Structure 1
Amino acid sequence: MTHVPQLIVDLSLILTMAGIITLIFKKLKQPIVLGYILAGLLVGPNFALFPTITDIKTIEIWAEIGVIFLLFNLGLEFSFKKLVKVGNTAAITGLFEVGLMLVTGFATGQLLGWSKIDSLFLGGIIAISSTTIIFRAFDELGLKTQQFTRVVLGILVIEDLTAVLLMVLLSTLSISQQFAGAELLESILKLFFFLIIWFLGGIFIFPTLLRRYRKLMNDESVLITSVALCFGMVFLVTKAGFSAALGAFIMGSILAETTHAEKIEHLLKPVKDLFGAVFFISVGMLINPSLLIEYAVPTAILVLVVIIGKTTFVTMGAVISGQPLKNSLQSGMSMSQIGEFSFIIANLGLSLHVTSNFLYPIAVGVSVITTFTTPYMMKLSEPLYEWLNKHLPEKWKAYLNRYSTSTETIVQTTQWNEILKSYAQTVVLNSVVVVGIILISSRQLADLLHTRIPETYVTNSVIFGITFLLIAPFLWALIFKRSNKKAYSAIWLSRKYSRGPLLLLELSRVVIAILLMVFLLSQFYTTPAALSIAGGIMILAFAIFYQRLQHFYHKIEDRFLQNLNARQLEGSGKSKKILLPWDAHFAFLEVSADSNLIGKTLQELKIRENFGINVVLIERGSKTIQLPKPTEVLYPCDRIEVIGTDAQLDAFRGHVEISTNGEAYLATPDTIVLERIEVKSEYNIRGKSIRESQIREKTHGMIVGLERNGERILNPDSYMVIEIEDVLWIAGERDLIKEFVNKKTGNVGESELV
């Protein structure tokens, strides 16, 4: 009789149970993740009613692979460029909320009498909301077009990145078993050093390879290559002393910048779903019902801490960042749960054998309860805001409104800000690359060479020469590169008192470069004479090959930027995410086959007159129609981008997306911008109606907002007359609006791009 491996028997059992439970949860419209956890509990060793799996160790290995695929997929959705685009609101709110939840979790654990390590892990567990659960709730409740959802998505990006960093820091603290500030700072610096090295190197190498062999790669090749790159990065990261999850996340974020990102994500989905299901099932297997009963009171306390704490801190952070009270409260109540990252952090404590056995089932219990409460919290957010709006003192409401409006005012970037940003970017990135190359050459390359050839002065000189050739372009950039020559010239010529700080900045770059040269020399030479000779050779090489170094560095930089922006350039048909100073925003809607708008022109539909919104873009297959003409006809499956308030978008959505399969999408990056123009007495458009001003014809844009005497008019009528001191908001193509604004004749004033 053929022997069936125990792993196959166990997988058959857990997947069968998972399939049955998830079908039930689908029918009940509950999150599938909870179904996986319940399936794991039923087939786990702590529940005797059903057959129990026996090869737990192998299942745990599969679960670890599941974590790798979950983090890899998260990296594909994340991308480092997305972090830059989430804006100040998401960054301030996310860091504010995570920081206070960490402190709250640690304090709660200490009050419950737990150890410091348990309390620290508890802080990490309750600090991160569930991206999966929030996305699902938004979809089921039809909230994707709401303005506050963009704030929530930005905060989730910050939380996901923070969670990855937390896993690294918690691992470091757990191993050292002490709260040493110096060691913690060293770990953080080491982490950021490796993040920059891996990201820069990955963006330079992998997109180039994928693009070069694109014609040879079918779906199978893309899947195998991406998984191979993922596990290769996992290996490198673990060799450097970090977690496997971090490596998967890094490679995902690197591949997210390639033109293959969507295909990889699509091909990886079944694999991620399978291994992810095994991971969540393994979570359920570790639940001990008796421990949950024993720790019912701490679980209940932590449920209240999560719901009240996250609601309060997210709301406060959003208000501080300048969001209106309504958006802030809706964001806070949407994020009042914990989920998949909490399981991963709790599982990390168990795998390191540093946390108590009760912490894991408590974390799962809190997650399950807060997952069930999430939809109800979202539904209650608007009634709670209405109640607060009625009971808050008028002075408080006026102050909050003024604060929100003032923080939304776009501040012009100063020349010093541009210079300091350029300085930090140039110094940090090039210094990290130089140090990374020196360390690889002096340790890895030298060790490899010296295993075959004895170490001598000649071998060291050869490795030194190779290393210097590799770092020379980056040393050139560190000393000589200028990204903002206009800002440098303006400050130097117009502000004499600024020349001193400017000279200090330039001198500091030279000093840093000299220190890096000394670091390089010290790796290979010890005697003063050798140091002097090698240093002289380096200076001479810089003087002779200055132009070549400059040319070579620009080639490297161009290749890096081409790889970094490849996905954006290829997908340039999508529209730009724009923020308004109103309670209005851009959103994508898809025209269903059953919509009554099909076959009619925009002029016939009178969308602005009937719904109060504007259509600013139409996507039709591979074709993109920006700022469509009134004669443009709508067809089935068109994706249209509109601007309006939450209420207007909700009303219009019912006419566009008739079928239940339709989805609304948030706008994504492209060329459409929003420009603010203040009308002054000398401008020749004053006294003319919006139609007579010919702004639409001259800019291929449209006026989507008008401010007059403190009143904001969204999508004003085309017959409205433009008056002095009106503020116009024009949506259109960046270059055409800039050209119109900068004309000497018909100049409409200074503008601000959002």
Structure 2
Amino acid sequence: MAHLPHLVTDLGLILGAAGIMTLLFKKLKQPLVLGYIIAGILVGPHIALFPSIIEIENINIWAEIGVIFLLFSLGLEFSFKKLVKVGGASSIMALVEVVVMLLLGYLAGKLMGWSTMDSIFLGGILSISSTTIIIRAFDELGVKSQRFAGLVFGVLIVEDLVAILLMVLLSTLAVSQQFAGSEMLAAVLKLAFFLIVWFLAGIFLIPTFLKRASKLMNDETLLIVSIALCLLMVILAAQVGFSPALGAFIMGSILAETTKAEKIEHLITSVKDLFGAIFFVSVGILIDPAMIVTYAGPIAIITVVTLVGKFLSIAGGGLIAGQGLKTSIQSGMSVSQIGEFSFIIATLGLTLNVTSDFLYPVAVAVSAITTFTTPYMIRFSEPLYRSVEAVLPARWIASLNEYSSGAQTINTTSDWKLVLRSYAINLVVYSVIIIAIVLLSAQYLNPFISETFMNGNMGDLVTTAITLVSMAPFLWALAVHHPQEEAQGRIWANRNYRSLIIVLEFARIVIAILYIGFLLHQFFSVQVAILVGLVIIALMGVFSKRIQSFYIKIENRFMSNLNERERSEARKLHHTLTPWNVHLTSFEVPATSVVVGRTLVELQIREKFGVNVAVIERGERTLMAPTRHERVLPNDKVYIFGTDEQIASFKEFIEAEATRTSDDELEKEEIKLQGLMVSSDSVLLHKTIRQSGVREKTKGLIVGIEKNGQRILNPDSELVFEEGDLLWIVGSPWRIKQLEATKGKEHV
């Protein structure tokens, strides 16, 4: 009989047990992750009822591959653009939760007498919620369309990124065995540096490669190429000193910006499911049931800390972010569990030999308990809100509602904000690129040229020349390029600010010169570096137009690759909806457009221009087939269906600015949601919204009315104001107060 390797036997046991548990847990309608963990416990070395795994070391290798594919798949769903679109509220809630749970986990560990490292890792384990479990629970309970669900999804996206950062920080802490602020800061800066380099290089190179090779790729080839790219980034991350999982996550997030993202995600699903199952079974294999019994007390304590701490931190973060009591409580009740990343962080502690053996099974036990409680907590979130609302004093409820309304402030973007933000982004991005080019040149290019072609000063000169040519476009962009030229021109028109603009421009040039010196100092003495630097600056001035042209090509390629996925989706939509001589196109509504604040029925777009409004995109919301009463708001993306002539006519209309009535309106105003009470002597009393002239007097929009204890959102223009009505107006605060001050003057 031929000898069968233990690896094959062990893999057969793992997948056999996982398959049986999958069927059982599907029948019980429970999360499959728990089934995999229980399967691992049954085939692990601690239970003799079933055949046991022989070589656990080999299984650990399979498990590490499972982590890589889990993180790669998560990166494909992540997308850096999703992070950019995550609202400030979700970010605040996620950061509050992570900080609170890190602190609570550490304190709980110390109070139970655990070591400092065990307590720190416990805080990391408790700080990240389970994306898989929450999404499954939302699907089963049918709450994905509710407002709090969108906030929770944003929280999960931020948490995933924080988890990656935590893995880097915990690894650094485990190696140094002490909390050194300088080392932690260095680790964070190193992570940020490589994230920017990998993302910029990846977006510039990989979409272009996939596009040009698309004719040669079938499903099999695309699967192999995507896995190869993933593993190459894993190798690169390991070489730089980061975890392999980080490299997989980064490559997934880069591929998420390409037109092949959905296809790759579909192809990789089976591979991810296979190795993911092996990973979660391996989690169970490492659990000693006797240890869970021994540590039943700490498990119960940590479970309570998780459930209560996550609820209070997320709910508190929601209140701080102005999301209202109901939404905050629902969000807090939804994320009270730990999951995949918690296992990965626990595995990291074991791999680095810095945590005790009991921490891993304790974390898994807490995850299992909180997974079972998740659906019930989501289901009871609304009853809990009603109970809390009934207990809280009316004054507190009113204060919370007022704070929540005040938090919905829309601030107009000033020219200074645009210019300073563009300067900051330019400085960070181009500095990272230039430093990366210099370091690559010093570490790899110079040794290669010296060993292969020429050494000594001649080799240094050739290296410097090649590096400068590579740096030149980015040096020009750092020192000269104006991404917000119009805004800067408007600031320059004000003589009071010209000196500040000159200082900013001078600072950019000085920083560019310092980077040239940084390069030259790698190969030459200070005196030679200064002399050569002056010559280089002069040459860059001579060839400025060519350098500019080359940079513009690089920028256009990058932006084309970055936005190719959206353009591809728009083209698909275009081809789907254009059977006649018409097509679908989109316009972003300028803040000064005449259409802002008006309903579709008021605008009469179909009657005047012959086009149809098919879709309105508003932030993360997509309004399909908007009703005639839908109002158009600033920065809405409106999709229009019509002929070229009709669309051109509509384009002129939507881009026309609203007529200004006074010089004061030339200045940008603060816009807030503000309440106005209709009193017995109010100028608004017994008038309809249309008759009241609120729009003209406040340059604002009535978005809601509280009438007789009822809240009316987007009220009809024929609604009549009565005494005691509370109007909610989005507009200029001083204009609204001015209207309020006219009480009795116009009332008859």
**Deviations 1:630-663, CA, capped at 9 Å, x for gaps:** xxxxxxxxx983789xxxxxxxxxxxxxxxxxxx
Say if 2:697 is the partner of 1:714: no
CA distance in structure 2 between the aligned counterparts of 1:678 and 1:287, rounded to whole angstroms: 68
Are the equivalent residues in 2 in contact too, given 1:679–1:727 (CA < 8 A)?
no
**Deviations 1:16-59, CA, capped at 9 Å, x for gaps:** 11111111111111000000000000001111111101121111
Q: 1:627 aligns with which of 600, 607, 614?
A: 614
CA distance in structure 1 between the aligned counterparts of 2:264 and 2:6, rounded to whole angstroms: 32
Mark the CA change 1:511 to 1:712 in structure 2 (over 3 Å): closer, same or farther. Answer: farther
Q: Report the AA paired with residue 523 of structure 2.
A: F
**Which residue number in structure 2 is paired with residue 536 of structure 1?**
534
Say if 2:33 is the partner of 1:50: no
Instruction: Please state how far the C-alpha of 1:235 moved relative to its aligned partner.
Output: 0.5
CA distance in structure 2 between the aligned counterparts of 1:719 and 1:572, rounded to whole angstroms: 39
Q: Report the AA paired with residue 325 of structure 1.
A: L
Say which SS state the counterpart of residue 179 (structure 1) adopts: coil
Say which SS state the counterpart of residue 386 (structure 1) adopts: helix
**Which residue number in structure 2 is paired with residue 348 of structure 1?**
348
CA distance in structure 1 between the aligned counterparts of 2:612 and 2:144, rounded to whole angstroms: 23
**Which residue number in structure 2 is paired with residue 518 of structure 1?**
517
**Which residue number in structure 1 is paired with residue 506 of structure 2?**
507
Are the equivalent residues in 2 in contact too, given 1:678–1:728 (CA < 8 A)?
no
**Which residue number in structure 2 is paired with residue 463 of structure 1?**
463
Gaps of 5+ in 1: 576-613, 615-623, 630-638, 645-668, 694-702, 730-754
Are the equivalent residues in 1 in contact too, given 2:449–2:463 (CA < 8 A)?
no
Say which SS state the counterpart of residue 627 (structure 1) adopts: strand
Structure 1 segment 176-255 matched on structure 2, within 5 A: 176-255=176-255
**Deviations 1:686-740, CA, capped at 9 Å, x for gaps:** 99999xx9xxxxxxxxx998446899643655876999x99899xxxxxxxxxxx
Are the equivalent residues in 2 in contact too, given 1:688–1:722 (CA < 8 A)?
yes
Mark the CA change 1:679 to 1:278 in structure 2 (over 3 Å): closer, same or farther. Answer: farther
Q: Report the AA paired with residue 209 of structure 1.
A: F
Q: Report the AA paired with residue 531 of structure 1.
A: A
CA distance in structure 2 between the aligned counterparts of 1:444 and 1:573, rounded to whole angstroms: 43
Instruction: Please state how far the C-alpha of 1:93 moved relative to its aligned partner.
Output: 1.0
> Which is worse superposed, 498-507 or 556-565?
498-507
Mark the CA change 1:26 to 1:709 in structure 2 (over 3 Å): closer, same or farther. Answer: closer
Q: Report the AA paired with residue 452 of structure 1.
A: T
**Deviations 1:536-582, CA, capped at 9 Å, x for gaps:** 3311221111111111111111111111111122223899xxxxxxx
Mark the CA change 1:689 to 1:67 in structure 2 (over 3 Å): closer, same or farther. Answer: same
**Which residue number in structure 1 is paired with residue 680 of structure 2?**
none
Are the equivalent residues in 1 in contact too, given 2:613–2:638 (CA < 8 A)?
no
Structure 1 segment 248-267 matched on structure 2, within 5 A: 248-267=248-267
Q: Report the AA paired with residue 228 of structure 1.
A: A
Structure 1 segment 438-477 matched on structure 2, within 5 A: 438-453=438-453, 455-477=455-477
**What TM-score, normalized by structure 2, do the two folds share?**
0.80
Report % sequence identity: 53
Are the equivalent residues in 1 in contact too, given 2:315–2:331 (CA < 8 A)?
yes
CA distance in structure 1 between the aligned counterparts of 2:534 and 2:511, rounded to whole angstroms: 17
**Which residue number in structure 1 is paired with residue 165 of structure 2?**
165
CA distance in structure 2 between the aligned counterparts of 1:116 and 1:17, rounded to whole angstroms: 37
Instruction: Please state how far the C-alpha of 1:389 moved relative to its aligned partner.
Output: 1.2
**Which residue number in structure 1 is paired with residue 361 of structure 2?**
361
Are the equivalent residues in 1 in contact too, given 2:96–2:313 (CA < 8 A)?
yes
Mark the CA change 1:680 to 1:384 in structure 2 (over 3 Å): closer, same or farther. Answer: farther
CA distance in structure 2 between the aligned counterparts of 1:137 and 1:62, rounded to whole angstroms: 29
CA distance in structure 1 between the aligned counterparts of 2:416 and 2:191, rounded to whole angstroms: 29
Q: 1:641 aligns with which of 621, 624, 631?
A: 624
Say if 2:397 is the partner of 1:397: yes
Say which SS state the counterpart of residue 304 (structure 1) adopts: helix
> Which is worse superposed, 508-517 or 244-253?
508-517
Are the equivalent residues in 2 in contact too, given 1:79–1:256 (CA < 8 A)?
yes
**Which residue number in structure 2 is paired with residue 125 of structure 1?**
125
**Which residue number in structure 2 is paired with residue 561 of structure 1?**
559
Are the equivalent residues in 1 in contact too, given 2:199–2:250 (CA < 8 A)?
yes
Instruction: Please state how far the C-alpha of 1:534 moved relative to its aligned partner.
Output: 1.8
Q: Report the AA paired with residue 525 of structure 1.
A: F
Q: Report the AA paired with residue 511 of structure 1.
A: V
Mark the CA change 1:212 to 1:350 in structure 2 (over 3 Å): closer, same or farther. Answer: same
Q: Report the AA paired with residue 226 of structure 1.
A: S
**Deviations 1:96-118, CA, capped at 9 Å, x for gaps:** 11111111111111111111111
Q: Report the AA paired with residue 367 of structure 1.
A: S
CA distance in structure 2 between the aligned counterparts of 1:3 and 1:153, rounded to whole angstroms: 50
CA distance in structure 1 between the aligned counterparts of 2:35 and 2:283, rounded to whole angstroms: 11
CA distance in structure 1 between the aligned counterparts of 2:161 and 2:328, rounded to whole angstroms: 21
Gaps of 5+ in 2: 574-600, 602-610, 617-621, 628-635, 641-653, 666-683, 694-699, 731-748
**Which residue number in structure 1 is paired with residue 34 of structure 2?**
34
CA distance in structure 2 between the aligned counterparts of 1:393 and 1:179, rounded to whole angstroms: 44
**Which residue number in structure 1 is paired with residue 69 of structure 2?**
69
Q: Report the AA paired with residue 566 of structure 1.
A: E
CA distance in structure 2 between the aligned counterparts of 1:170 and 1:364, rounded to whole angstroms: 19
Q: Report the AA paired with residue 627 of structure 1.
A: A
CA distance in structure 2 between the aligned counterparts of 1:218 and 1:466, rounded to whole angstroms: 38
Say if 2:319 is the partner of 1:319: yes
Are the equivalent residues in 2 in contact too, given 1:574–1:670 (CA < 8 A)?
no
Are the equivalent residues in 2 in contact too, given 1:707–1:713 (CA < 8 A)?
yes
Are the equivalent residues in 2 in contact too, given 1:37–1:280 (CA < 8 A)?
yes
CA distance in structure 1 between the aligned counterparts of 2:200 and 2:279, rounded to whole angstroms: 31
**Which residue number in structure 1 is paired with residue 580 of structure 2?**
none
**Which residue number in structure 2 is paired with residue 741 of structure 1?**
none
Say which SS state the counterpart of residue 571 (structure 1) adopts: helix
CA distance in structure 2 between the aligned counterparts of 1:147 and 1:643, rounded to whole angstroms: 19
Are the equivalent residues in 2 in contact too, given 1:93–1:321 (CA < 8 A)?
yes
Are the equivalent residues in 2 in contact too, given 1:704–1:714 (CA < 8 A)?
no
CA distance in structure 1 between the aligned counterparts of 2:116 and 2:256, rounded to whole angstroms: 38
Mark the CA change 1:642 to 1:284 in structure 2 (over 3 Å): closer, same or farther. Answer: farther
Say if 2:300 is the partner of 1:300: yes
Mark the CA change 1:401 to 1:681 in structure 2 (over 3 Å): closer, same or farther. Answer: farther
Mark the CA change 1:704 to 1:31 in structure 2 (over 3 Å): closer, same or farther. Answer: farther
Q: Report the AA paired with residue 500 of structure 2.
A: P
CA distance in structure 1 between the aligned counterparts of 2:626 and 2:148, rounded to whole angstroms: 15
**CA-atom RMSD in angstroms:** 3.3
**Which residue number in structure 2 is paired with residue 284 of structure 1?**
284
Say which SS state the counterpart of residue 624 (structure 2) adopts: strand
CA distance in structure 1 between the aligned counterparts of 2:572 and 2:398, rounded to whole angstroms: 38
Instruction: Please state how far the C-alpha of 1:504 moved relative to its aligned partner.
Output: 2.8
CA distance in structure 2 between the aligned counterparts of 1:720 and 1:402, rounded to whole angstroms: 24
Are the equivalent residues in 2 in contact too, given 1:678–1:727 (CA < 8 A)?
no
Mark the CA change 1:54 to 1:628 in structure 2 (over 3 Å): closer, same or farther. Answer: closer
Instruction: Please state how far the C-alpha of 1:268 moved relative to its aligned partner.
Output: 0.3
**Deviations 1:580-636, CA, capped at 9 Å, x for gaps:** xxxxxxxxxxxxxxxxxxxxxxxxxxxxxxxxxx9xxxxxxxxx985389xxxxxxx
CA distance in structure 1 between the aligned counterparts of 2:411 and 2:173, rounded to whole angstroms: 41
Q: Report the AA paired with residue 165 of structure 2.
A: L
Mark the CA change 1:469 to 1:360 in structure 2 (over 3 Å): closer, same or farther. Answer: same
Are the equivalent residues in 1 in contact too, given 2:613–2:625 (CA < 8 A)?
no
Question: Matched residue pairs, number?
Answer: 635
Are the equivalent residues in 2 in contact too, given 1:573–1:670 (CA < 8 A)?
no
CA distance in structure 2 between the aligned counterparts of 1:709 and 1:6, rounded to whole angstroms: 72
Say which SS state the counterpart of residue 452 (structure 2) adopts: coil
CA distance in structure 1 between the aligned counterparts of 2:713 and 2:705, rounded to whole angstroms: 11
**Which residue number in structure 2 is paired with residue 135 of structure 1?**
135
CA distance in structure 2 between the aligned counterparts of 1:204 and 1:146, rounded to whole angstroms: 37
Mark the CA change 1:503 to 1:409 in structure 2 (over 3 Å): closer, same or farther. Answer: same
Instruction: Please state how far the C-alpha of 1:678 moved relative to its aligned partner.
Output: 11
**Which residue number in structure 2 is paired with residue 551 of structure 1?**
549
> Which is worse superposed, 182-191 or 469-478?
182-191
Say which SS state the counterpart of residue 449 (structure 1) adopts: helix
